[in-house]
A and B are shown apart, each in its own frame.
Chain A
Amino acid sequence: DTGVSQNPRHKITKRGQNVTFRCDPISEHNRLYWYRQTLGQGPEFLTYFQNEAQLEKSRLLSDRFSAERPKGSFSTLEIQRTEQGDSAMYLCASSLAWPGGVQPQHFGDGTRLSIL
């Protein structure tokens, strides 16, 4: 168990640029979640995948945001035309789910996005 890995740890970019983050979950986990955490707040759910299928998206996930998990392993989260309000910590988590239950989520250390 090498844990959930997120890259990069920090990203600084100018407003209007596109950014992409990567998450590598724990290898046997079939569920992968993305959350966003702004300063002084608890994380907020963005979206989740079961294997390669994206099963739910929050209303927080505007059309500038897109997430993929093409082979049911790693996932990417892309933000197009970044805005000041996108500055936040983006957290990835993974877990194992089966019919009738789901294990607690394991979190990565996050990617901190700063928009200049």
Chain B
Amino acid sequence: AQSVTQLDSHVSVSEGTPVLLRCNYSSSYSPSLFWYVQHPNKGLQLLLKYTSAATLVKGINGFEAEFKKSETSFHLTKPSAHMSDAAEYFCVVSGPRGSGNTGKLIFGQGTTLQVKP
């Protein structure tokens, strides 16, 4: 079975300071991992995805995530927060890759990012 645990339900940072949103996953096979962002009353937007051997993944809006198999982690980072980054962030697992991949996504509980001026 697959699962995702987001270690913080709320994270508060000041504008211009780094962002770290933590995610651990559990999977019995090699997973695909994603981070999605959701602004209030909107659908989900893909920030980045891990599906290959490149363990450091760059996404949109300056976000990055590093896949660490030994730690079963996929933490999301950004060097400098903007006010517009305030939203709900979801760490997501899917898989296995290849034939038989239903693409079904399993979401974490979400982390609310607050950005203070």
Residue of A nearest to B103 (CB): A102
For residue A25, CB closer than 8 A to chain B, the reply is no
* Docked complex: B25-64 residues within 8 A CB-CB of A: 34, 36, 41-46, 49
For residue B74, CB closer than 8 A to chain A, the reply is no
Select A33's contact among B45, B98, B103, beta carbons within 8 Å.
Answer: B103
For residue A85, CB closer than 8 A to chain B, the reply is no
Q: In the complex, are the beta carbons of B104 and A45 less than 8 A apart?
A: yes
For residue A43, CB closer than 8 A to chain B, the reply is yes
For residue A67, CB closer than 8 A to chain B, the reply is no
For residue A4, CB closer than 8 A to chain B, the reply is yes
Instruction: Provide the residues of chain A in CB contact with B43, threshold 8 Å.
Output: 4, 6, 91, 107-110
* Bound: A43/B42 CA distance, A: 13
Instruction: Provide the residues of chain B in CB contact with A106, threshold 8 Å.
Output: 46
* Docked complex: A30-76 residues within 8 A CB-CB of B: 31, 33, 35, 40-45, 48, 55-56
User: Which residues of B pack against A, CB within 8 Å?
Assistant: 34, 36, 41-46, 49, 90, 97-99, 101-110
